[in-house]
Amino acid sequence: MKTFRVLLLAVTVALIAACSSTPSKPTAAAAPPPPAAISLAGNWVLTIDSQMGSQDSKLALKQNGKAISGTMESPQGVVDVAGTLEGKDLKFSFNYNGQGVELRIDFIGATDGQSMNGRAVFGTYGEGTFKAKRQ
């Protein structure tokens, strides 16, 4: 009878040990960190190519989250620019008064943080392209 109790106790302990140890779940591989947000803050050389030729301008930008703002200096003067950056897609614009005609110029393109390129829309007067390099 004593042997039976010892055997029963051993089986019970083995069952409890087996039930309490659950296999560990494999851990999922850690996701790679998200890419760093692109910053456009700083000074740029902006080149606009249009039907009128090519023109370089200085672009000084500030950034607050997705909002970008700053100034553009060209031979025609200095204008304020404003726009947005969402991921790599950027949009910015400025208003220009040339010989009494108010014109909004929109820039739509992409950036990697060191360069920009895309198209420039001159209101109803057509389109061109632009590119910019960080100084």
User: pLDDT: is 6 or 108 the higher one?
Assistant: 108
Instruction: Give the integer Cα–Cα distance in Å for 132 and 135.
Output: 9
What pLDDT, on the 0 to 100 scale, is given for residue 1?
A: 54
What pLDDT, on the 0 to 100 scale, is given for residue 26?
A: 61
User: If we measure between CA atoms, which residue out of 82, 90, 84, 102 comes closest to residue 122?
Assistant: 102
Provide the residue ranges of all domains of the chain, joining segments of one domain with +: 42-134
Q: Is the pLDDT of residue 9 over 50?
A: no
pLDDT digits (tens, 9 = 90+) for 23-55: 566 666 777 766 668 999 999 999 999 998 999
**Fold that domain 42-134 belongs to in CATH:** Lipocalin (2.40.128)
pTM here is 0.74
Q: Which residues pair with 122 in a beta bridge?
A: 105
What pLDDT, on the 0 to 100 scale, is given for residue 101?
A: 87
